[in-house]
Amino acid sequence: MDTIQKNILINRISLGYFIHKFNIDGKSVLLKIGSPTAEQKHISDILYIDAYKDAVKQGLYLEEELYDLLDDTKLWSVDNEVKLTELKDNLEKLKIGLFQMYFRSQHQLKIRESLEITKDAIIDLINKKHSLDIYSAEAIARFKKNSYLSACGIYKLDGECYLKPDDVWDTDSPLIDDIMHIRTYNLCDEVTLRELSRTEPWRSVWSVGKSHGQVFNCPIIDLSIEQQLLITWSSVYDNVYESLECPPDDVVEDDDMLDGWFLLQHKKRVIDRQKKLSEPDGESKAFQAQEVYLLADTPEDARKIYNLNTEHANLLIKQRMKALRDSGVIKEQDMPDQKRNLQMMMNQAYSQQMKSRK
């Protein structure tokens, strides 16, 4: 985005509403499409509950029941669920790999291609999984709720509500339907919000707003979705810039690569916390040893302990397990890593011996 486009979006998001031209009864009318108040949100929750109960009484499927129906009709299966989970896991691994290939441009190109393919595959599967959601009781209730919220957010330019009080309950109104589509179409996506939050001119606005204790001219409870997300992402990038391990600027500007950095940082924090929890009586000397054995009561406990290992340690474990499978029974000193260590010690001893003779 150029600066003009960014300013247009920042001004619109700061207002909390946008202005749209409608054709009503053959006349062009400018209306504000704003965000609902806290009270209106509360009323919409009540509407949701009532609509949900009515839909269930009428015999509509629940979303969980629809998943069973998808399975019966072969539209969705356990295999699809497993594949979706694997794709999401692979997406994280690709993002981590992209960050780790920071100095390998050719490798980055291949990873980015795989990223796009994986993202598309995830979207296709998610759409397939939720293809019947519109027929669920939850979907009917959400429609009633969103219709009311959209109706409450329509204002004339002078701030007066456009619809009469009784009209906001008319969920079949073509105008309300148009409002819902226009609002969805105009909302900024995550990519746009991330770019806005990490670049000028918003960074300066954000800095001044924080110092004065208020960024937008409304209570926190009345913030629009975009305002909330812009604040959230701005805080995220603050944390990145303030990190002792802050990545280079071109990483920060690359969403996928920065996500890889986030994931690695999260893994480090998890391992550090688990190590601290597993230190007996607060003693950390054991973790200075080459190997530490911890007892596990359940397979889940064993998985947690296993996750404490570094990538190098996991590689050693795999090598040892392979050697054990190949040999059946094997002494520790015959393990591949122990043989390498012994060979290194012998080489070092021989090197020192040769130096002492000179």
Same domain, 169 and 29: yes
In a domain? residue 333:
yes
In a domain? residue 170:
yes
In a domain? residue 224:
no
* Residue pLDDT, tens place only, 240-261: 999 999 999 999 999 999 999 9
Work out how many domains the chain is built from and give that number.
Answer: 2
- Find the helix packing angle between 137-152 and 174-186, rounded to 10°: 90
Residue 215's nearest CA partner among 187, 226, 6 is 226
In a domain? residue 4:
no
Query: What is the extent of the structural domain holding 334?
Result: 309-357
Domain end call among 187, 217, 238? 187
Render the burial of 142-156: b for 16+ CB within 10 Å, e for the rest: bebbbbbbbbbbbbe
Q: What is the pLDDT of residue 292?
A: 64
In a domain? residue 11:
no
Domain end call among 171, 187, 203? 187
* Residue pLDDT, tens place only, 42-80: 999 999 999 999 999 999 999 888 888 887 777 888 888
* Residue pLDDT, tens place only, 172-200: 678 888 888 888 888 999 999 999 999 99
Domain end call among 187, 206, 224? 187
* Residue pLDDT, tens place only, 79-118: 888 999 999 999 999 999 999 999 999 999 999 999 999 9
Among 94-98, 281-285, 288-292, 298-302, top mean pLDDT goes to 94-98
Residue 155's nearest CA partner among 46, 40, 47 is 40
According to DSSP, the residues that pair with 22 across neighbouring strands are: 29
In a domain? residue 278:
no
In a domain? residue 200:
no
In a domain? residue 264:
no
Sheet holding 154-155, edge to edge: 17-24, 27-34, 154-155
